[in-house]
Amino acid sequence: MLKKVIQDENLHYLHMIFNKGEGLPEHYSNSVVYMTVLRGQLSIRLDDHEAHQYEAATVLKIPFKTKMNVNNLDDETLELIVVKAPAPVK
């Protein structure tokens, strides 16, 4: 589930929930991305590095144009807040 909480010219504030086996398709960040793990365990691979797992209360800063692969490999539901700032330009 992806809910766009705020999406204006300054930033995008997104609420994401993923069940086991769900995630985002591999893509490049279109802005600086701040990702906060609220619940569960985030599995993320950045550029060509190995995937890492992050627990609840972790905040990540992902630079612009970073290749990313976001997944939930854990049984517990993964819940994230994602902030893109500045707002991506189309």
CA angle 84, 87, 90 (to 5 degrees): 120
Q: How far apart are CA 72 and CA 40, in angstroms?
A: 8
Amino acid 48: pLDDT: 94
pLDDT in tens, the chain (90 residues): 899 999 999 999 999 999 999 999 999 999 999 999 999 999 999 999 999 999 999 999 999 999 999 999 999 999 999 999 999 986
Torsion-angle region of 57 (φ positive above 0: left; ψ -120 to 50: alpha; else: beta): left
